[in-house]
């Protein structure tokens, strides 16, 4: 662990908290938006704990996770579309609360919160299994194909976890209209997966054989 990595991680975490809070509470017009606080807690408390663990035990993995600058133009577009989805979805959720357009029942919110936490655990397991996991599409020095554990079920368990996370978010916020916006994510991530697999098939030794071994990209028996 280095001071630079520590400060970079803390800075990005703080920016994420402030930005998310602004996107939720400013449109809501109040800090009494309890669904917003619930999402903030579910999102950032586990993130902070996971960051501390990675900083101590796997600083290189944390550093790769903090590197979000895509080198490929197609993937840069995916990142921008995802960012736009978050901005629009959070703002609409705040406005939905403010004007009471269509509020979901508490049972749905609680169920979504449970799914969110389970998806976080799944995401943590993926990070444990794959030390080469990066936020950008790249092949690292010494990288090998991981084909055990969750990677023996689908080729992209991280994206499956994020799919659950992102679709649960607007439901935790209690907003149907925000959920409709977040339904764009499966289509956005499908494009990213296609380009990522094309890249890995060319650049990562053994990946073509891995694709033959593990048939499904994201959802078992479906795709």
pLDDT one-digit tens code per residue, 16-29? 999 999 999 999 99
The residue range of the domain holding 171 is 3-213
The DSSP letter of residue 103 is B
CATH number for the domain harbouring residue 22: 1.20.120.1630
| Average pLDDT of every residue of the chain | 84
Q: Is 84 part of a structural domain of the chain?
A: yes
Let me know if residue 220 belongs to a domain.
Answer: no
Residue 202 is assigned to a structural domain of this protein? yes
Whether 70 maps to a domain, the answer reads yes
User: Could you tell me the pLDDT band of residue 205, with boundaries at 50, 70 and 90?
Assistant: confident
- In the predicted model, is pLDDT for residue 46 greater than 90? no
The total of structural domains in the chain comes to: 1
Please tell me the pTM assigned to this model.
Answer: 0.83
The answer to whether 37 touches 87, Cβ cutoff 8 Å, is no
pLDDT of residue 30: 96
In this prediction, residue 68 carries a pLDDT of 57
| Residue 75 maps to a domain | yes
Q: Is residue 205 part of a domain?
A: yes
pLDDT of residue 135: 53
> Is residue 54 a part of any domain in this protein?
yes
CB-neighbour burial class of residue 156 (10 A; exposed 0-12, middle 13-18, buried 19+): buried
- Assign 128 a pLDDT band (cuts: 50, 70, 90): confident
Residue 1 reports pLDDT greater than 70? no
Residue 189 CB contacts under 8 Å (≥ 6 apart), including other chains: 78, 159, 162, 163, 218
Give start and end residues of each alpha helix (H) in the chain: 3-28, 34-57, 59-66, 73-99, 106-129, 157-172, 176-182, 185-203, 207-213
Any idea what DSSP says for residue 204?
S
Of residues 57, 41, 19, the one with CA closest to residue 169: 41
- For residue 218, being part of any structural domain is answered with no
Contact (CB, 8 A) for 29 and 98? yes
Q: How many residues does the chain have?
A: 223
Give bridge partners of residue 175 from the DSSP assignment: 103
Phi, psi of 141 (to 5 degrees): -60, 130
């Amino acid at each position: 662990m280095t001071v630079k990595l520590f400060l970079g991680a803390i800075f990005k975490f703080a920016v994420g908290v402030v930005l998310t809070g602004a996107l939720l509470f400013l449109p809501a017009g109040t800090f009494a938006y309890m669904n917003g606080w619930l999402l903030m807690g579910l999102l950032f408390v586990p993130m902070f704990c996971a960051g501390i663990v990675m900083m101590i035990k796997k600083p290189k993995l944390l550093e790769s996770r903090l590197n979000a600058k895509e080198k490929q133009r197609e993937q840069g577009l995916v990142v921008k579309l995802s960012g736009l989805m978050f901005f629009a979805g959070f703002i609409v959720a705040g406005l939905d609360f403010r004007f009471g357009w269509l509020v979901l029942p508490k049972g749905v919110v609680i169920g979504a919160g449970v799914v969110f936490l389970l998806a976080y655990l799944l995401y943590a397991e993926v990070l444990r299994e794959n030390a080469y996991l990066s936020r950008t599409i790249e092949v690292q020095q010494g990288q090998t194909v991981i084909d055990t554990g969750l990677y023996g079920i689908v080729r992209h368990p991280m994206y499956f976890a994020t799919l659950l996370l992102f679709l649960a978010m607007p439901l935790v916020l209690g907003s149907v209209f925000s959920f409709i916006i977040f339904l764009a994510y499966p289509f956005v991530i499908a494009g990213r997966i296609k380009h990522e697999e094309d890249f890995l098939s060319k650049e990562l030794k053994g990946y073509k054989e891995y694709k033959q071994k593990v048939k499904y990209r994201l959802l078992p028996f479906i795709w």
